[in-house]
Structure 1
Amino acid sequence: MQNIEKKFWLEKFDCFSITGKDARKFVNGITTGNILNSENEVIKTCWLTPKGVMRALIEIIFLESNLEVIILVGNTHEIIDYFNQIIFPADDVIMSKPFLINRIQEIDESTSWRTYRPIFFKTEDKEFEIYKNKLNLLNPNDLKLWKINQAIPSLEREINGKNNPLELGLKDLIDFNKGCYLGQETMSKIKNVSSLKQEIRIWKSFESNLNLDVEDKNLYINSAKDISVGKITSIFKLDSQIKGLAMIKRKYLEEGSYFFSEIFGKVIINKSIGSIFI
């Protein structure tokens, strides 16, 4: 059999520490994951508005004396400011200033990005350079393309003050059985009545003559633009490849795998292997 070299995703992210005996309880009340009872050493979770809108994609590292909060996608200062604002005087919770952390994760094309456990190096770790140089790292363009194929949301694009994590295919990052947290009421309501209005999809264009002067980001059911079925949120162009992410109205998902964009012509849409919907 052919020996295929493993590929790795390396990226620097903002991180901050939360210490104190109430650290887990504090983070549990803010995020969608079960921080209190997690048996994992690293979990991914979401920070939402009270109305259930996605604000950040977060990773929590459980250490003996503290939690480390990694901002995978989100506004670090907004998160830290909010967390600081809701610490009560009685809470035994102390937050550090943000710092950078190197995050390394094995990836492949056929498995969700949430499958592999990442490892972390502080910027001052001497072992980091030695370890990094042994790996087959994705270059920046290949990493962008891989993230599109995984439907990993981006700030100001898919995380835009409108979409919720269930629409973004992040159902597995929400614990529906834990106690109260920000956005819980909306998440439970959507799940219980299966009322998702849209879902994230990967789109790909086959056109060579693109109408790049047009700013219409809508996707339509046909070239006559009779019905808008969704909106393009991300665009990635590399050589002949033109792909991106779009939010598609759920009621049109069974209309077929092809839609029409005034900019990109005929596009095919696919669900990512990383997306899990209700």
Structure 2
Amino acid sequence: MTVDGSKPQALLWDEHFAVVRLEGSGCAGFLNGQTSAKVEGAPSGPIIQACWLNATGRLQALLELRLDDQGADVLVLNGDADQLAQGLDRVIFPADRVRLGAPRQQRRLQHLSSDQAPGVETVLWLDDDAIVPAPWNQTQACTAADLERWRLQQGWPLGAEEITGDTNPFELGLAGWVNLDKGCYLGQETLAKLGSRGAVKQQLRCWQCADPGAADLQPGDALVLNGERAGRITSVADPNGTEPRLGLALIRRQALEATTLQSEPTDSRPHPLTVTVKRPGAFQDPPSGR
């Protein structure tokens, strides 16, 4: 809610993203085995949220998929599109009936609303020469600062320090992007074990700090609880007037119930800063719990 109690206006995020193109009749089955989403049997047209994992379940890229009559587009929301293309190309065999097409850029629109978790119903892919349809053309475009604050408050792991090849989807609150019921896929065994145990070693959290010294906080800075390492900062928003500094952090499991943590003292910042931490608005737990 805004200061006067009214519902905040949704904003429009309009940006181009790299797309890895796949062509051939076997694209659905191939992507079903290479991503975390259930793609086989999905209809053409709708957008599918998916993760690209390595063999140990670590997140390599955050994706949106769209099937069509000739193949599939794989849009890279966060990650290296060239690395994805090379990784997929290495595991394409003639029997897959799939081949790499020409890479391209895709215009992508998304409504940003503080009371709605990110989902495919808020996303539209659009050709560059297409007219923006209603109600999308009636929504105010967001600034870069608007987008950064929204994604930090919601907990979207779009920063360079959230997807590093060392985190898994459950740590980042992306359980909705993972299908544990479909057949085998790359990284599935590790995620199935994590889901059955209902616990991961760390989780993504939002943090805020109103101390003027918070302007010095940077991704990679450590956070502590009672003198023990509790996590590390992964994203920091640029200062915006007098508003508190905010960002995202990966917090260790033993510190997840804490509402405040301290920055670890450094030579340039000998006095610890107190930061408040909370669960992001869009964080999704695995089916069996945390």
TM over 0.5, shorter chain? yes
Between the aligned partners of 2:92 and 2:214, the Cα distance in structure 1 is 51
SS of 1:195 mapped into structure 2 = coil
SS of 1:90 mapped into structure 2 = helix
- Residue 276 of structure 1: CA displacement? 0.8
Q: Show the 5 A alignment for 1:126-275.
A: 126-128=130-132, 134-210=138-214, 212=216, 217-222=221-226, 226-239=227-240, 240=242, 241-254=244-257, 256-262=258-264, 265-275=273-283
- Residue 175 of structure 1: CA displacement? 0.7
Residue identity over aligned pairs, in percent, reads 27
Question: Gaps (5+ residues) in structure 1?
Answer: none
SS of 1:29 mapped into structure 2 = helix
Q: Which deviates more from structure 2 when the two are superposed, residues 146-155 or residues 176-185? A: 146-155
Q: Which deviates more from structure 2 when the two are superposed, residues 210-219 or residues 47-56? A: 210-219
Q: Deviations over 1:54-108 (max 9, x none)?
A: 1000001122332111101110000001111111023211221211111011221
- Cα distance change of structure 1 residues 237 and 65 upon mapping to structure 2, 3 Å threshold: same
**Alignment counterpart, residue 50 of structure 1, candidates 51, 55, 65:** 55
SS of 2:212 mapped into structure 1 = coil
Aligned to 1:19: 23
- Residue 213 of structure 1: CA displacement? 8.7
Q: One-letter code of the match for 1:101? A: Q
Instruction: Decide whether the 8 Å contact of 1:236 with 1:242 is kept in 2.
Output: yes
- Residue 154 of structure 1: CA displacement? 2.8
Q: Show the 5 A alignment for 1:113-132.
A: 113-114=118-119, 116-123=121-128, 125-128=129-132
- Pair 1:276 & 2:284 matched: yes
Between the aligned partners of 1:172 and 1:86, the Cα distance in structure 2 is 26
Between the aligned partners of 1:216 and 1:130, the Cα distance in structure 2 is 42
SS of 1:103 mapped into structure 2 = strand
Taking structure 2 as the reference length, what is the TM-score of the superposition? 0.86
- Residue 272 of structure 1: CA displacement? 1.1
Between the aligned partners of 2:204 and 2:217, the Cα distance in structure 1 is 25
Q: Deviations over 1:204-256 (max 9, x none)?
A: 1121134839997111114xxx11111111111222331111011112212x2
- Over the aligned positions, Cα root-mean-square deviation in angstroms equals 2.5
Instruction: Decide whether the 8 Å contact of 1:114 with 1:274 is kept in 2.
Output: no
Q: Show the 5 A alignment for 1:55-74.
A: 55-74=60-79
- Residue 265 of structure 1: CA displacement? 0.9
SS of 1:220 mapped into structure 2 = strand
- Equivalenced residues, count: 273
Runs of 4 or more, structure 1, over 2 Å off, are: 1-6, 37-40, 62-66, 126-135, 209-216, 237-241
Instruction: Decide whether the 8 Å contact of 1:141 with 1:238 is kept in 2.
Output: no
- Cα distance change of structure 1 residues 214 and 162 upon mapping to structure 2, 3 Å threshold: closer
Instruction: Decide whether the 8 Å contact of 1:206 with 1:265 is kept in 2.
Output: no
